Amino acid sequence: MKTKARIAVLVSGGGTNLQALIDAQKSGIIKSGEIVLVVSNKTGAYALERAAKAGIKAVTLTRKECGGKEGFEKALTELLEAEKIDLIVLAGFLAILSADFTSRYPERIINVHPSLIPSFCGEGFYGLTVHERALEYGVKVTGATVHFVNEIPDGGKIILQKAVYIEDGDTPEVLQRRVMEQAEWIILPQAVELVSSKLAGARS
């Protein structure tokens, strides 16, 4: 029997994408991997409660507690190694990881971004800002992208994309919700399964 890839999910907030992954694991969409660790870089993030409810180990690591970015990444690396993590999923994780960190895990870190990369991406493009810019620009189609993470923000190889139509009267908040429901929560679990199946094959 194939060994499942061990997955860590990195979060900063409410954890809606984490919940989509937990649900996808329960429903069998994710079958080649198992979420064994959730790490938040923000104290009290609701995502930690979602992890606890699902029986997943949840840890908070803050830059402040670790003495800055370097200390944070060192502590994170040690935790990931201790848990024998194969795949790292950034799900609403609002910290940019250094080239030193990302180079340790080539094609083993994935991120979901709420636009069709290369549009509305890169440093400073996260959360509602992405949807505000899409509406300001007047694009008719937006969506979400799951990509591998490298040293360039939103610069890694694209794994999956899904388009979402912009509708008359959309506000950034309404659009954000539709992109989550119609794209992010669908393609993130699919991408996790795709990458997990390859990593699980290498592991077994």
147 is catalytic: no
pLDDT at 1: 55
pLDDT at 201: 75
pLDDT at 200: 84
Q: Which of 68, 157, 170, 64 is CA-nearest to residue 106?
A: 157
pLDDT at 97: 93
Edge-first strand order for the sheet with 33-40 is 57-60, 33-40, 5-11, 87-90, 109-113, 141-148, 158-165
Cα 146 to Cα 55, 187, 193, distances in angstroms? 26, 7, 12
Over residues 14-60, the pLDDT tens digits come to 999 999 999 999 999 999 999 999 999 999 999 999 999 999 999 99
pLDDT at 203: 63
Taking all residues of the chain, what is their mean pLDDT, rounded to a whole number? 95
Q: Which of 153, 142, 145 is CA-nearest to residue 188?
A: 145
Question: Which residue out of 6, 50, 113, 133 is catalytically annotated?
Answer: 113
Q: What CATH superfamily is the domain 5-203?
A: Formyl transferase, N-terminal domain (3.40.50.170)
Q: Could you say which residues of the chain have pLDDT below 50?
A: none
